[in-house]
Structure 1
Amino acid sequence: MARKEFESFEAVSAVVPGEGGYSAAIAVKGLGAGGAPHFHKVLDGQTFKTALDADEAASAELARLTGVSDAGELLW
């Protein structure tokens, strides 16, 4: 799991299980905020056989992330 901090949000690599494998995702949550994060699937259409493969792909996408909007959306 990789983590990146922005002005008002933190983002972490994540995995979403699904039919036939796992999807890479980035979870976003307000800094210091309670509650559940919002998951954004990345690499649409790609499914990974293992959670480790999906997390590695999500970590690579997280490295490319330039920010998070005030509404919690990913900025590339």
Structure 2
Amino acid sequence: MNQQPNNPLHGITLETIVTELVDHFGWDGFAQRINLNCFKNDPSVKSSLKFLRRTDWARKKVEQLYISTFSR
């Protein structure tokens, strides 16, 4: 298996990232931190994942929020 010691997101799926951020902040808090319609208008994990998988800049913002929130 390829080791990535400098990658804090190694082995963490995008679904896990979104789910943990929603559990921590709630949808409203999540939308306040990252102003995206997929988090504000009828949000769901499934619709957010669909958008984030197609939009690289938005995914990077979500990943950065995850790292800054849950860095150990």
TM-score of Structure 1 vs Structure 2, range by shorter chain: 0.3 to 0.5
Q: Quick check: which one's helix share is greater?
A: 2
In the superposition, the TM-score normalised over structure 2's length comes to 0.37
